[in-house]
Structure 1
Amino acid sequence: MISIKGLSKVFRTKHQEVRAVDDLSLQIKKGEIYGVIGYSGAGKSTFIRLLNRLEDPTDGKVTIDDQELTSLNKGKLREARQEIGMIFQHFNLLWSRTVHDNIAFPLEIAGVPKSERTKRVNELIDLVGLSGRGNSYPSQLSGGQKQRVGIARALANKPKVLLCDEATSALDPETTDSILDLLVDINEKLGLTIVLITHEMHVIRKICHQVAVMEQGKIVEQGDVLDVFLYPKEQVTKKFVDQVMGDPEREHSLQLIKDTYKTGEILRLHFVGESTNQALISEISRKFVLDVNILHGKITQTQKGAYGTMFVQFLGDKEEITRAIEYIQSTSVEVEVSPDD
């Protein structure tokens, strides 16, 4: 659906050169919700503006649905942009227009007849959950309602791709979740391909199928969201995963807990998908002569399934502990044993 090859953007001034996006390549499938995450200055906002040529690339190609946007002239680009919707962090609504007229604006520009515009706008108002608010002005709406108007406006021309530039960053957590639920609903109902940039791993965890991690203009890690949660390779990715899992000392957690609980064996268990429903601790207690203490645990949900970690302490005979560990390793639960002193 979306093919990005060797994409670069260099900003030049008299005194310096800033490479905001650096030789970036990605493939995004039709109907996917693809997340791009990075800290401030990583280049993600420039990247998403390159996708619809709000910024022209220094190098590289962007192809959407077999049409290479980077080679289009201004006239053809205007036509192509009608199939690419975009929503923004700060809504970018027309404050002197009602909800209805804000949503209708891109249809007016496209020359859609008034009767057809009205029908389409009413459909979109219902779709985004704003029934009865068509005559309201942006100043009369909450932040979440304003973003719903922005989403409806982005969908007006029935785009194939929806680009989201930090679409929930200005919203409180509860409103953020409601907007994310709406995006999932739109993705499923319309089969829309969504590219979403954010600095919040919660957003990636909740709705994305695939994720790419940006740092200094480059993609440093990418893959299935659940795989990235399970096996983050880069330090920046580990920090993002820790936002959700609440393990800020990820690299040292086992040793830190072992220093606190000096007896027995400390394990970190990784539960994925169906294994999160296993009554593993009960099984261990029944099968082996051990005392089992649960020290810490958390389970979180991604689009591809659940993922959880749990720290446990096994107290008992060393051979019995070894047998218990071997039993866990025979299941779908992954086990990490504390390092030796």
Structure 2
Amino acid sequence: MIQLKSIKKSYPSKNGAVEALSGIDLSIRQGEIFGIIGYSGAGKSTLIRLINRLEQPTSGRLIVDGKEISSLSKKELREARKDIGMIFQHFNLLWSRTVKGNISFPLEVAGVKKAERKKRVQELIKLVGLEGRENAYPSQLSGGQKQRVGIARALANNPKVLLCDEATSALDPKTTNSILDLLLNINKKLGLTIVMITHEMHVVKKICHKVAVLDTGKIVEEGNVLDVFQNPKMAITKEFVKQITHQEEADEAVDLMKQTHPSGTIIKLLFKGDSAKRPIINELFQRQRVEINILEGNISQTQNGAFGTLTLLIDGNIREIKSAIDYIEQQGVGVEVIQDAAQLIS
């Protein structure tokens, strides 16, 4: 659905060109919710603005639904943009228009007849859950309601792609979750391709199928959300994953246990997919003659399945501990030995 091939974007400055994006290659499939995450200044907003050509790439090819957006004429671009909706962090609503008026605006611009506009607006108001607020003005709406208007407006022309530029950054956590649930519902109902620009890993975890990590204008890591969360390779990705795994608190718990139990064996279990549902600890108690203390644990759900970790302190006979570790690995659960005073693993 969306392909970026060797995309570069530079801006002129007094000291020469500043490169915002450096050779971006990206492929987003139809119906996918694709997250692009990075810190401020990474080039996220520039990247998303290239997709609907609010920005023109310096070089490279950008293809959306078979059309090379980067080379369209102004007239062709206006037509192509009907297939690309966009929502923003600060809503960008028309404050002099009601909810109905805001949603209707792109239909008016497109020359849609009044009766058809009215019908479409009512469909969208129902879709985004704003029944009863049709005649309210933006100043009378909460942040979440304003964003719902923004989403409805972006969907007015039945686009094939929805671009979300930090769409939940201005919202509180509860409202953020409700907006993400709405986007997930829209994706499933309409088969819409959604591109999420964000610096919040919670957003990626909750609704995205795939994620790309952007750092100083380059994609440094990419893949299925579950795979990236389970095995982040780059330092910046590991920082983002810590946002939702509470890894810093886990490390503190492990460090404390190393001091108080220097002769104990500490292992981290790595769960993914169906293995996250297995009652591993209960099975260990029944099968192995070892003492088990749970130090910390975290299970998270993504669109690709569950993943998580569980850190254990195991005491007992060396052979029994080795047998317990072997059994865990046989169940499809990864094992990382953090402290192995008995040097069980050579």
On whether the aligned pair clears a TM of 0.5, the verdict is: yes
Check conservation: 1:50, 1:56, Cα contact below 8 A.
yes
Which residue is equivalent to 2:47? 47
Q: In the alignment, what sits opposite 2:5?
A: 5
The Cα shift of 1:249 comes to: 7.3
Measured in 1, the distance between the counterparts of 2:295 and 2:250 equals 15
Cα deviations by residue, 1:254-286 (Å, 9 ceiling, x for unpaired): 566433432321000011122122111111111
**In 1: Cα distance, 2:256 partner to 2:32 partner:** 39
What's the counterpart of residue 162 of structure 1? Answer: 162
Cα deviation digits, residues 213-268 of structure 1 (max 9, x gap): 00000000000000000110000000000000000378898566433432321000
**1:338 CA displacement:** 1.5
Secondary structure (helix, strand or coil) at the match of 1:239 reads: helix
Aligned AA for 1:321? I
In the alignment, structure 1 residue 193 sits paired with structure 2 residue 187: no
Matching of residues 287-326 of structure 1 within 5 Å: 287-326=287-326
Q: Deviations over 1:35-57 (max 9, x none)?
A: 00000110001000011000111
SS at match of 1:338: strand
Helix, strand or coil at the partner of 1:194: strand
Distance verdict in 2 for CA 1:184–1:16, change over 3 Å: same
The Cα offsets for residues 15-73 of structure 1, whole Å up to 9 and x where unpaired, read as 24321111001010000000000001100010000110001110111101110000101
Q: Find the counterpart in structure 2 of residue 64 from structure 1.
A: 64
Q: Which residue of structure 2 lines up, in the alignment, with residue 218 of structure 1?
A: 218
Counterpart check, 1:276 vs 2:276: yes
What is the aligned partner in structure 2 of residue 112 from structure 1?
112
Looking at structure 2, the residues matched to 279 and 165 of structure 1 have their Cα atoms a distance apart, in angstroms, of 40
Aligned residue for 1:70, secondary structure, equals helix
**Residues 40 and 256 of structure 1, relative CA distance in 2, 3 Å threshold:** farther
Q: Secondary structure at the match of 1:274?
A: helix
Report the more deviating stretch, 330-339 or 193-202: 330-339
Mapped partners of 2:176, 2:307: distance in 1: 21
**Is the CA contact 1:270–1:335 (under 8 Å) kept in the aligned structure 2?**
yes
TM-fit CA distance, 1:201: 0.3
CA RMSD of aligned residues (A): 1.4
Q: Residues of 1 paired with 2:232 and 2:181: CA distance?
A: 26
Q: Is the 8 A contact 1:255 1:338 kept in 2?
A: no
For 1:258 and 1:97, the matched residues in 2 are separated by: 62
Give, in whole Å, the separation in 2 of the partners of 1:256 and 1:66: 56
Contact residue 298 and residue 308 of structure 1 kept, 8 A: yes
- SS state at 2:247 partner: coil
AA aligned opposite 2:285: S
Q: Where does the alignment leave 5 or more consecutive residues of structure 2 unmatched?
A: 342-346
Secondary structure of 1:296 counterpart? strand
Q: Distance in 2 between matches of 1:277 and 1:82?
A: 44
Written as runs of structure 1 = structure 2, the 5 A alignment for 1:246-261 is 246-248=246-248, 257-261=257-261
Is the CA contact 1:265–1:313 (under 8 Å) kept in the aligned structure 2?
A: yes
2:175 maps to which residue?
175
Contact kept, 8 Å, 2:11 with 2:17, in 1: the verdict is: yes
What's the CA shift string for 1:165-216, capped at 9, x where partnerless? 0000000000000000000000000000000100000000000000000000
TM-score (ref. length: structure 1): 0.97
The percent of aligned pairs where both chains have the same amino acid is 60
Residue 76 of structure 1: aligned partner: 76
Instruction: Give the counterpart letter for 2:186 in structure 1.
Output: I
Q: Assess, with a 3 A threshold, how the Cα gap between structure 1 residues 340 and 282 changes in structure 2: closer, same or farther.
A: closer
Worse-matched range after superposition: 306-315 or 86-95: 306-315
Contact 2:43 2:215 in 1 (8 A): yes
Residues in 2 aligned to 1:250 and 1:234: alpha-carbon distance in whole angstroms? 20
